[in-house]
Amino acid sequence: MILVKIGGGESINLEAVVADLTGLDEPFIIVHGANVLRDQITAKLGFEKTVLTSVSGYSSVFSDQEAIDVIMMSYAGLRNKRIVELCQRSGINAVGLTGLDGRLVQGERNKGIRVRENGKTLIKRDVSGKPRAINTGLL
């Protein structure tokens, strides 16, 4: 089984990626991003993306419930189904799943991000997490 990671940047050529995948002789799973699409949908809905920078210099998007809704729309919805559509048009029979479907990916909630604000170190907690287990039986 091959794992294919497709980024979520603006310059990703999905048609070319799928064309390359048609030449594979073994099964594969695609894991994809959609960060540019997420930001476009956020702007269209009039939301503001909040980026936190940890005390160690790591930046991440603050994932409250509003942000998670936009993530679901962009990653699980539009980007996922566009990739499925391209695969089907190219003769690859595809199904688009998310980590929620069939408990495909199970994770652990992050404990929080340490940030500096107004000279103080604070812990910001959101609903983000890290994957810890894959339901390989479902796949």
pLDDT in tens, 61-91: 999 999 999 999 999 999 999 999 999 999 9
Q: How many other CB atoms sit within 10 Å of the CB of residue 14?
A: 15
Mean pLDDT of all residues in 116-130: 92
| C-alpha atoms less than 13 angstroms from C-alpha of 137 in its C-beta half-sphere | 2
3-state helix, strand, coil in the chain (%, to 5): 35, 25, 40
Contact by Cβ (8 Å): 57, 115: no
Mean pLDDT of all residues in 99-105: 94
Q: How many other CB atoms sit within 10 Å of the CB of residue 67?
A: 20
Q: Which domains, from first to last, does the chain contain?
A: 2-134 (3.40.1160.10)
Cα(81)–Cα(99) distance, integer angstroms: 15
pLDDT tens digits for 18-40?
Answer: 999 999 999 999 999 999 999 99
Give me the pLDDT at residue 84, please: 98
Give me the pLDDT at residue 139, please: 85
| pTM exceeds 0.85, yes or no | yes
Q: What is the DSSP letter of 127?
A: S
